[in-house]
Amino acid sequence: MKINDYDYPDMCVISRSAGDTDVNGDEILTELYAGACEIQYGGSGNTTMKVSNYQSSPTLFIPTCSVDFEINDKVVVTSLNGRISKYTIGQFESLSDFEDTCIWLKSGVE
């Protein structure tokens, strides 16, 4: 998908807990954004050593700056190659000059 002369090859869904569970005990989520995105994995810039393992905190770009996200909102990314990854939001910044939002993700979650 091409938006604002920039390619967003991945798809993502960002949601927030509604604070309740359904009859099966599964968390009820409210969808905040579903659509095109691009996940980027940095070289050494966002990689840290945690208990003798390297962990990377990827960055996500979405083509909108009109959504009010919160830290710990849930993110599910389906990469162009079909890989599905789950994260939570660690920090974000709306880039109104570019009509984008840059989201720094916490390590994957289940």
Please tell us whether the domain made up of 2-105 is placed in CATH 2.40.10. Answer: yes
pTM of the predicted model, to two decimals? 0.79
Euclidean distance between CA atoms 20 and 25, whole angstroms: 9
Q: What contacts 60, CB < 8 A, 6 or more positions away?
A: 12, 37, 38, 39, 40, 75, 77, 87, 102, 103, 104, 105
Residue 103's pLDDT is what? 87
pLDDT tens digits, residue range 59-108?
A: 999 998 888 899 999 999 999 899 999 999 998 888 766 778 888 898 75
Euclidean distance between CA atoms 110 and 75, whole angstroms: 11
Amino acid letter for position 27? E
